Amino acid sequence: MNPPRTVTVVQLSHYLNRQGIRSLIPKLPPIKKDFTPYVFSRDQIASFFHEADLLVTDKKQMNSIIFSLPCLWRLLYGTGVRIGEALALLEKDVNTEDCYLVIRDSKNGLERLIPMSESLSEVCRVFRKQKKRLPIHIGSETPFFVSLNGSVCVRRAVYKWFHRTLVKAGIPRHDHGARIHSFRHSFSVHSLAMMAETGQDLYCSLPVLSSYLGHQCLESTNSYVRLTAEMYPGLIKDIEAVCLNVFPNLKSHGPN
């Protein structure tokens, strides 16, 4: 039985037991232990953005999403939001004047505000001006990322263009290589590295980053500290004893 089905059966068994109906609860399958998040180097990020900017939109294909991709990739890397959260953004959720996003469709079901840098806000402003040139109606409830005909970006198409851009940028695509979620991993690690470079106390910053990422517990965020320590051993050594092992190093699928 695969893991998703097992989880469903376990939940059903718990429910039956709460109703007074005896039900044996199956053991969950072992968790994968060898997952290592892929983190883009800063050079890879620059190369990826460059190749994304070179993609040419064929205006004859009105369902093309290439138009939205340069802004989408920068928003994923610049905020660390999940791809589902980004594609669910509406026009009213992107405030380019006060530089923040409103995440309503979160994995954990919690609404949160995400601050944006001024440079990312400017990218969103330019993208919004470009959208106004399209022959489509744009209202507050319109998806922020759209195709040329105004339809919402389909995740399948987003993945297709992501892999094509990876190839053009010369970034590996093997089993443990880059994936769209790697933007989130890269944002987290690069943010922690920047905090350490500027002398911030990572022990105090960890809850802030955890809330920013929408994690329900600090343990998921703490795994990024370990990953940052591995990638920047000289940078993180001073805070390792205090921050690196706030939580035990449990084996899991990695941070989400």
**CATH code for the domain in which residue 112 is found:** 1.10.443.10
154 phi, psi to nearest 5 deg: -80, 130
The band of 125, judged by pLDDT with boundaries at 50, 70 and 90, is very high
The band of 36, judged by pLDDT with boundaries at 50, 70 and 90, is confident
Q: Is residue 9 in some structural domain? A: yes
Query: Do 196 and 239 share a structural domain?
Result: yes
Query: Do 47 and 26 share a structural domain?
Result: no
- Residue after which a domain boundary falls, among 146, 169, 192: 169
- Residue after which a domain boundary falls, among 106, 138, 169: 169
Domain that holds residue 86: 42-169
The band of 250, judged by pLDDT with boundaries at 50, 70 and 90, is very low
> 9: burial class by Cβ within 10 Å (0-12, 13-18, 19+)?
middle
Residue 85: the pLDDT is: 92
User: Is the dihedral angle over the CA atoms 81, 87, 90, 91 positive or is it negative?
Assistant: positive
For the sheet with 112-115, list strands across it: 94-95, 100-103, 112-115
Query: Do 154 and 101 share a structural domain?
Result: yes
Mean pLDDT of 102-118: 84
DSSP summary character for residue 115? E
DSSP summary character for residue 3? H
CB 147 within 8 A of CB 153: yes
pTM: 0.75
Tell me the per-residue pLDDT of 181-200, one tens digit each, with 9 for 90 and over: 999 989 988 888 887 778 77
DSSP summary character for residue 146? B
Residue 106: the pLDDT is: 74
CB within 8 Å of 146: residues ≥ 6 apart: 65, 67, 68, 131, 134, 136, 152, 153
Q: Is residue 201 in some structural domain? A: yes
Q: Is residue 60 in some structural domain? A: yes
Q: Look up residue 99 and give its two tokens.
A: 């530089």
The band of 104, judged by pLDDT with boundaries at 50, 70 and 90, is confident
Query: Do 2 and 76 share a structural domain?
Result: no
Number of domains in the chain: 3
Residue 71: the pLDDT is: 97
Residue 193: the pLDDT is: 81
Measured distance CA(137)–CA(73) in Å, rounded = 24
Q: Would you say residue 42 has pLDDT above 60?
A: yes
Provide the β-strand partners of residue 103: 112
Query: Do 139 and 56 share a structural domain?
Result: yes
Query: Do 232 and 131 share a structural domain?
Result: no
